[in-house]
Amino acid sequence: MRNQISRRNLLTGAAALAPGYAVLSAQGSPLALAYIGTYSSPQGPEGSAGHGRGIYLYEMNPQTGELGQRELFATDANPSWLALNPDKTRLYSANEITNFDGSSGSVTAWSVHQSSGKLTSVSTVSSEGAGPAHLSVHPSGRYIFVANYAGGTVAVLPIEANGRLGRATDVKADQGSPGPKQPTSAPPGSFAISGHDHPHAHMVESDPTGRFVLAADLALDRIYIWRFDPDRGKLTASDPAWVSLPPGDGPRHFVFHPNGRWFYSLQEESSTLAAFDYDNGKLAAKQTLSTLAKGFAGTNFTSEVSISSSGRFLYAANRLHDTIAFFSIDASGRLAWIGEEWTRGDYPRSFSFDPTGRFLYCCNQRSDCVTCFRVNSETGALSFTGQYTPIGTPARIVFLR
């Protein structure tokens, strides 16, 4: 019997290929969409070439967690960190380069087509420092904060009414003497001694209220605390202006608990988590523990830290050891080790939860794949789904919906 193609099937197929097509499930509801930022320049991470080609758009199967590629938005500017604004009409990429306007990195604003997820570049401005490694959006949606790792600066970029980015309203250069190359709290036999040569701003983000902005400097072993003026886009040092981590430990990323009262800092070179109480711009240390299983010896670099939407579990990624460790969070905000899961890839740079919290996606930088894990909401444990998504040098995944 000969195959027959109806006019309706032809029209459906054509619509799927159209630039503004809506991504729908079989039931007609919008599917989950994710953007993956990659290293896409010959000058990629740690001096190696990036294998990615820009920002990729993927569709997620809500039953299996499988990712299917929809589009590529090509750029060779290393869009290694991505963030959406609060209403998800704009995506911002920190472009980890050093040759924009001479010796800076850059930040690009992309408009988001709500039904299809298609991106259109709106504007690109200087990040006011080389090698931006992280950016975040103020809760008001009016400003971008960007941390320039190679440049050792933090910048505030205004978002104009048309969605374009303006010139920086403030730039702060981290000042101080780098800590020792050997971390104070490293596991036995560790050679995780990079990064303590000059200031390296690694992450910047406001607290949940938007009134304070915190920034981690890996080389200075400090978390800076700034008051933020949303009318002028200015940062003013809080009192105290920073908290110190043990010398050489290297704070990289941090996360606020959903209740806004607890704060957790992840140290890259010591492979530790530090828990703090947080109150109105003030941090009070209360606990430090390893991200590695008891008895581990050797070199490891941590990368990402995140908390489940329930607020019950914290997750931290280990590079070289190539695991994601998970911890319970008790009623006082203290952590307890539960276990770890192999990432099924090499050098997990970051990970993210899907909007339902049922799946965790890990960007394995050196093995060119994203792996998917199912999250047990009762125990916090991760289980591999068997889903590998091939993608060159993945760095960051964020979900549109």
Do 142 and 86 contact (CB within 8 A), yes or no? no
* 119 pLDDT more than 50: yes
Percent above pLDDT 90 for the chain: 89
Radius of gyration, alpha carbons of the chain: 21
Instruction: Give me the chain's average pLDDT, please.
Output: 93
ω into residue 240 within 30 of 0, thus cis?
yes
Task: Give pLDDT, residue 47.
Answer: 75
Measured between alpha carbons, how far is 87 from 141 in angstroms, rounded to an integer?
Answer: 8
Q: Which helix (H) or strand (E) element contains residue 209?
A: none
In DSSP notation, 219-274 reads TTTEEEEEEEETTTTEEEEEEEEEEEPSTT--EEEEEE-TTSSEEEEEETTTTEEE
pLDDT in tens, 344-401: 999 999 999 999 999 999 999 999 999 999 999 999 999 999 999 999 999 999 999 9
Task: Give pLDDT, residue 49.
Answer: 87
Q: Which helix (H) or strand (E) element contains residue 400?
A: none
pLDDT in tens, 223-269: 999 999 999 999 999 999 999 999 999 999 999 999 999 999 999 99
Task: Give pLDDT, residue 149.
Answer: 98
Match 């320049």 to its residue by tokens.
41
Number of neighbouring beta carbons within 10 Å of residue 284: 11
Task: Give pLDDT, residue 43.
Answer: 80
* 5 pLDDT more than 60: no
Task: Give pLDDT, residue 22.
Answer: 59
Positive or negative CA dihedral for 20, 7, 13, 60? positive
pLDDT in tens, 26-35: 555 568 999 9
Among the ranges given (3-12, 124-133, 293-302), the one the predictor scored with the smallest mean pLDDT = 3-12
pLDDT in tens, 182-206: 999 999 999 998 889 999 999 999 9
In DSSP notation, 113-169 reads -TTT--EEEEEEEE-SSSSEEEEEE-TTSSEEEEEETTTTEEEEEEBPTTS-B---S
Read off φ and ψ for residue 362, nearest 5 degrees: -110, 125
Identity of residue 249: D
Task: Give pLDDT, residue 109.
Answer: 98
List helix spans (H) across 65-113.
none
Task: Give pLDDT, residue 26.
Answer: 54
Q: Where are the domains of the chain?
A: 37-399
Q: Which residues pair with 336 in a beta bridge?
A: 328
Do 41 and 55 contact (CB within 8 A), yes or no? no
* 17 pLDDT more than 90: no
Read off φ and ψ for residue 367, nearest 5 degrees: -105, 10
Measured between alpha carbons, how far is 244 from 207 in angstroms, rounded to an integer?
Answer: 18
Burial 45-75 (b: 16+ CB within 10 A, else e): beeeebbbbbbbbbbbeeeebbbeebbbbeb
pLDDT in tens, 321-336: 999 999 999 999 999 9
Q: Which token pair is 199?
A: 């200031």
Measured between alpha carbons, how far is 129 from 144 in angstroms, rounded to an integer?
Answer: 14
The class (CATH top level) of 37-399 is mainly beta
- Quote the DSSP letter at residue 30: B
Measured between alpha carbons, how far is 29 from 174 in angstroms, rounded to an integer?
Answer: 47
pLDDT in tens, 121-140: 999 999 999 999 999 999 99
Match 């996606």 to its residue by tokens.
361
pLDDT in tens, 62-116: 999 999 999 999 999 999 999 999 999 999 999 999 999 999 999 999 999 999 9
Task: Give pLDDT, residue 27.
Answer: 53
pTM: 0.93
